[in-house]
Amino acid sequence: MATLTDEINRRRTFAIISHPDAGKTTLTEKLLLFGGAIHVAGAVKSNKIKKTATSDWMEIEKQRGISVATSVMGFNYGDYKINILDTPGHQDFAEDTYRTLTAVDSVIIVVDVAKGVEQQTRKLMEVCRMRNTPVIIFVNKLDREGRDPFEILDELEAELKISVRPLSWPINIGAKFKGVYNIYEHSLDLFTPSKTQVTERVEIDSVDDPRIDEAVGEKDAAKLREDLELIEGVYPPLDVDRYLEGKVAPVFFGSALNTFGVKELLDCFVKIAPSPRPVTAEERSVSPDENTFSGFVFKIHANMDPNHRSCIAFVKVCSGKFERNANYKHMRSGKMMRFAAPTAFMAQKKSIVDEAYPGDIVGIPDTGNFKIGDTLTEGENLHYKGLPSFSPEMFKYIENTDPMKAKQLEKGIQQLMDEGVAQLFTNQFNGRKIIGTVGQLQFEVIQYRLLHEYGATVRWEPISLYKACWIESDDQAALEAFKKRKHQFMATDREGRDVFLADSNYVLQMAQADFPKIRFHFTSEF
């Protein structure tokens, strides 16, 4: 029988992240094909919430439905159990993605060869860097005209602030794309445009093998040898430990749409990517192979059916074995809880599970007990650290338009904030509630959900703010002086911490200059 350690060692829990349109959905689907989790291409729906849908509520709801269905995709590949955690494509839901990154052990970043590093990729990489998450980069769409691969490598290093190490190398690009040389396995894969076909592989002994010339022609073979020589001169061999520390990222080239370069990526991934690692709780570091279960909620997804105000809390198992109907302690409330119908996500199907291991995600049906970041244990006092809140980008006053529904509104706001849909600040001066988001779409989702799930109607009122800064100081008097001076712009977050709402970058800079004893933070943890 497999031991706990066996189960841990065979698990790979990761997320694929990219700027929209780089090919995340396509790559995910191809990985599932290799894992036998799906049998036809086109089975994975993009969970992208399209801009055009902003006023079409049913459409948003439908798309949210898709994203719950594809939230976690588990499948077996050889001896490995792979869990892919899906992240929303739309940047207005970036916070969701950040939080999902707290539940993975590594990531694969997809970059479009023509577009290079884009804004969303850069932001997501910052979160990976904060947590030293190991990353592998897949440069996609080699079948299209794109940039010089050396130029892409330089850009990856400069923009993502990480060393890179190519493990495969393209022979030409676009219309002339002939294949990739697999540096990792020393083989040559020839490109044939195809959606499902297995790649044609040429067995070779070394880069000098004349079979390369036969396969791609002398000119391209010569260029390949020249490129490889340059690579070996510039990039040290892959140091797997440095990859695991998040210091160097292996890079693969391919075309997800053509299922090209994907298997190579997957085979290398299962070998080098980390199995579940120790997780830091406030109290101590917790190793996955400890005998007692612990885990935390990293995502809450509301039920789409307004008649059942229930949701699914996604729990990442951090240590021990999770068992159905066992008694677990919900740390925040101190209550013991039992879960009769926890679900897992295998091969695109959601089904009730009896047990789950570190690295696995269990979905727990919930009616408002859970909040993002909550820890569950067998009894020990542990609090897993989530991700800090980042300063929102957009702010609006939220106003009740139906005084009869004040209670419902209060409850709705509270639950939506528990789900992490947006952030709530209360102005200390006038008591008005301010909602902060990273995008316009979230305001629309909040308004819609408050109405449909809580029967509360709200109106947004503009407030022009630049940033929310969490403030602190070692000098209590200086802090009080600052708060007094800025009293109209002081707010409290949900945890009761002081937040300064700066209405412009200029005001913020002036405040920093005038109050040198105050520290201004753009995230809620410091």
Q: Binding site for GTP, residues? A: 18-25, 86-90, 140-143
The DSSP result for 176-187, as a single string, is G--EEEETTTTE
DSSP 245: T
Pick the binder of ligand GDP from 48, 115, 201, 519 (CB under 6 A).
Answer: 48
Tell which one of 8, 15, 17, 22 touches ligand GDP (CB under 6 A): 22
Q: What's the DSSP call for residue 504?
A: S
**Per rule CB under 6 A, is residue 423 in the interface with ligand GDP?**
no
141 is an interface residue for ligand GDP by CB under 6 A: yes
Residue choice 13, 26, 100, 377 for contact with ligand GDP (CB under 6 A): 26
**Residue 127 or 491 with smaller CB distance to ligand GDP:** 127
247-275 burial code (b ≥16 CB/10 A, e <16): ebbbbbbbbbbbbbbbbbbbbbbbebbbb
Cβ contact 107:98 at 8 Å? no
Q: Does 140 bind ligand GDP (CB under 6 A)?
A: yes
CB-wise, 257 or 469, nearer to ligand GDP? 257
21 makes contact with ligand GDP (CB under 6 A)? yes
Q: Using the rule CB under 6 A, is 156 a contact of ligand GDP?
A: no
| C-beta closer to ligand GDP: residue 144 or 324 | 144
Binding track over 249-288 against ligand GDP, x by CB under 6 A: ------xxxx------------------------------
Per 3-state DSSP, what percentage of the chain is helix, strand, and coil (rounded to 5)?
30, 30, 40
**How many other C-beta atoms lie within 10 A of the C-beta of residue 349?**
11
Mapped onto helix, strand or coil, the DSSP state of residue 201 is strand
* Site map 73..112 versus ligand GDP, x via CB under 6 A: ----------------x-----------------------
Nearest partner of 16 among 5, 8, 24, judged by Cα: 24
Q: Which element (helix H / strand E) includes 62?
A: helix 57-69
Amino acid at 94: A
Q: How many residues does the chain have?
A: 526
State yes or no: residue 115 binds ligand GDP (CB under 6 A). no
Q: Rounded to whole angstroms, how far apart are CA atoms 349 and 354?
A: 15
Specify the 3-state DSSP secondary structure of 328.
strand
Q: Which positions from 357 to 386 touch ligand GDP by CB under 6 A, shown as an x/- string?
A: ------------------------------
Number of residues that bind ligand GDP (CB under 6 A): 19
Residue closer to ligand GDP, measured from CB, 143 or 493: 143
CA distance 381 to 330: 10
SS3 category, 410: helix
- Is position 137 an interface residue for ligand GDP (rule: CB under 6 A)? no
Query: Under the criterion CB under 6 A, does residue 67 sit at the interface with ligand GDP?
Result: no
**Which residues of this protein are in contact with ligand GDP, per CB under 6 A?**
18, 20-26, 46, 48, 89, 140-141, 143-144, 255-258
